[in-house]
Amino acid sequence: MTGPIISARDLVKTYRSGVRALDGLSFDVREGTLFGLLGPNGAGKSTAVRILSTLSRPDAGEALVAGYDVTRTPREVRRRIGLVGQKLSAVPTATVRENVMLQGRMYGLRSRELAGRTDDVLARLGLAEVAAVQAGTCSGGMKRRIDIAMGIVHRPRILFLDEPTTGLDPDIRQRLWADLADLVRRDGLTILLTTHYLEEADELANQVAIIDRGRIVTTGSPEQLKQQLRGDTLRIELTRAPRDGVVGDALSGLGGVSEITVDGTRLHARADDGGAAVPVVLDSLARAGIAVVSVTVARPSLDDVYLRHTGRRYETASAAVGPTIGGLP
Ligand SMILES: Nc1ncnc2c1ncn2[C@@H]1O[C@H](COP(=O)(O)OP(=O)(O)OP(=O)(O)O)[C@@H](O)[C@H]1O
């Protein structure tokens, strides 16, 4: 298709509790890409996925998925998508193969086609060897793979994955990334993945949209987003948390240094030229009686992109919504 394969326009969703989870959410996804919807817990990612996969209706706005309107033609949408939610969905007492076949049958696959397609997806996701094993006895990483196999057995054009790697060990996460990238590259699948991991969006997604409080604050490839921020990032660890305003006062007059934030003992700033700024910044801090443990000069990260567009550090925004973010790298 020539236009975007997913198009969300001004989606609004307020829950009965009064929480406005989506507040005019708009974005487009190109076919055959891996699109990362990145945001801290509570930003509205799951709500967006639930609406796009027809599990929930928006209060306002519209969305087209594979050319079909999600509220007017939900059946057409459902036939063309796969969905892997946050909760594991495999039946624990059935074997891995039975789980995938059951799902395929629900989508109308039969006999030889069903068996062939099941074998294909099990092989693609590295599950062939455990095909006869009960799903409930598999590791966390395997269970995620079983869910993904179940999500693609009917050959959907689009796969929605809601935080697929949360809680997985880093090496298992990396393997899953490789498999997801492969599904996009080799099979032409479009994947919309939600994540609260900055590095996941950075390394895996062709296109990232940063969601904050139910709205997209910026979108582009990870490289484009980072290139919009010129210069370097200074990360300075202080010996103790300074009093409010002291750091700002010390550094405010320095040319080429901006976006100064202090979070406990961590000081972040942007510098037009990081190398040149370090001695000047350290001197100014020393004059103000602020002792420094370490200094790092780095290229901008998605964390810096988030700060630029929301005025808050990503980690701070994540910590503010609860303890489930504990696994953030
Ligand atoms: N069924 C519901 N009833 C009331 N409030 C809800 C419901 N589902 C989500 N919310 C609230 O809506 C906001 C957005 O939640 P949502 O789950 O979409 O965010 P998220 O970015 O996916 O975060 P998470 O990763 O924690 O799921 C949050 O404040 C959440 O508490």
> For a pocket test of ligand 1, which of 12, 41, 216 has the largest count of ligand atoms closer than 8 A to its C-beta?
41
| Residues 10-36: tens digit of each pLDDT | 999 999 999 999 999 999 999 999 999
- Could you tell me where the beta strands, DSSP code E, fall in the chain? 6-14, 20-29, 34-38, 60-65, 68-69, 81-84, 158-162, 190-195, 207-212, 215-220, 232-238, 257-263, 266-271, 292-298
Best of 11, 19, 212, 314 for a ligand 1 pocket test (most atoms within 8 Å of beta carbon): 19
Averaged pLDDT, 112-133: 96
Position of tokens 């296109």? Answer: 207
Integer CA distances (angstroms), 246 to 135, 257, 266, 272, in order: 57, 16, 14, 22
| CATH class of the 6-221 domain in this structure | alpha beta
Q: Is 291 in the pocket of ligand 1 (CB under 6 A)?
A: no
Give 47 Cα–ligand 1 centroid separation in angstroms: 6
Calpha distance 85→64 (Å, rounded): 20
Contact between residue 298 and residue 270 where contact means Cβ atoms under 8 Å apart: no
User: pLDDT at position 320, please?
Assistant: 64
ipTM of the complex: 0.97
3-state secondary structure of 156: coil
- Of ligand 1's listed atoms, the one at least distance from the Cα of 163 is 25
Distance in Å, CA 22 to ligand 1 centroid: 9
| Alpha carbon nearest to ligand 1 atom 26, residue | 41
Fold match between domain 6-221 and domain 230-299: no
Say what percent of the chain tops pLDDT 70. Answer: 97
For residue 329, the tally of other CB atoms under 10 A from its CB is 8
Pairing state between β 68-69 and 60-65: antiparallel
Which pLDDT band, with edges at 50, 70 and 90, does 318 fall under? Answer: confident
Residue 234 has pLDDT above 70, yes or no: yes
Q: Using CA atoms, how far apart are residues 127 and 101, in angstroms rounded to an integer?
A: 13
Across the beta sheet with 190-195, the strand order is 81-84, 158-162, 190-195, 34-38, 207-212, 215-220
According to the model, what pLDDT value does residue 199 have?
Answer: 93
**Distance in Å, CA 289 to ligand 1 centroid:** 44
- The per-residue pLDDT for 1 is 62
What's the pLDDT at 323? 34
- Tens digits of per-residue pLDDT, 146-180? 999 999 999 999 999 999 999 899 999 999 999 99
Q: Which protein residue's CA is at the shortest distance from atom 4 of ligand 1?
A: 15
3-class secondary structure, 188? coil
- Which has the closest alpha carbon to 242: 261, 270, 262? 262
Average pLDDT for 196-221: 96
- Dihedral sign computed on CA atoms, order 25, 329, 306, 192: negative
Query: Mutate which of 14, 46, 212 to test ligand 1's pocket (most atoms within 8 Å of Cβ)?
Result: 46
How many angstroms is it from 191 CA to the middle of ligand 1? 21
Closest atom of ligand 1 to CA, residue 211 = 21
Give CA–CA dist 74/202, Å, rounded: 32
Does 151 sit in the ligand 1 pocket, CB within 6 Å? no
- The CATH topology of domain 230-299 is Alpha-Beta Plaits (3.30.70)
Task: Decide whether any atom of ligand 1 lies within 6 Å of the 164 Cβ.
Answer: no
Rounded to a whole number of angstroms, the distance between the first and last alpha carbons of the chain is 37
**pLDDT digits over 27-65, tens only?**
999 999 999 999 999 999 999 999 999 999 999 999 999
If one compares 187 and 329, the residue with the highest pLDDT of the two is: 187
d(CA 136, CA 140): 10
**Does the Cβ of 19 fall within 6 Å of ligand 1?**
yes
Q: Which pLDDT band holds residue 306 (cuts at 50, 70, 90)?
A: very high
The confidence score (pLDDT) of residue 316 equals 77
- Confidence class of residue 322 from pLDDT cuts 50, 70 and 90? very low
Average pLDDT rounded to a whole number, residues 214-242: 94
Atom of ligand 1 nearest to the CA of 162: 22
As a whole number, mean pLDDT of residues 222-242 equals: 92
- Does the beta carbon of 44 lie inside 6 Å of ligand 1? yes
Longest CA pairwise span in the chain (Å): 78
For residue 311, name the pLDDT band (cuts at 50, 70, 90): confident
| The predicted structure's pLDDT at residue 178 | 94
Distance CA 112, CA 119 (A): 11
What pLDDT is stored for residue 327 in this prediction? 31
Interatomic CA distance for residues 65 and 43, integer angstroms: 22
- Residues 249-280: pLDDT tens digits? 999 889 889 889 898 999 999 999 999 999 99
State the pLDDT at residue 329: 32
Contacts of 304 (CB under 8 A, 6+ apart): 226, 229, 233, 268, 270
| C-beta separation of 229 from 64 below 8 A | no
| pLDDT > 80? residue 303 | yes
Domain ranges of the chain: 6-221, 230-299
Pocket test for ligand 1, best of 47, 51, 52, 306 (most atoms within 8 A of CB): 47
Q: How many CB atoms lie within 10 A of CB 98?
A: 17
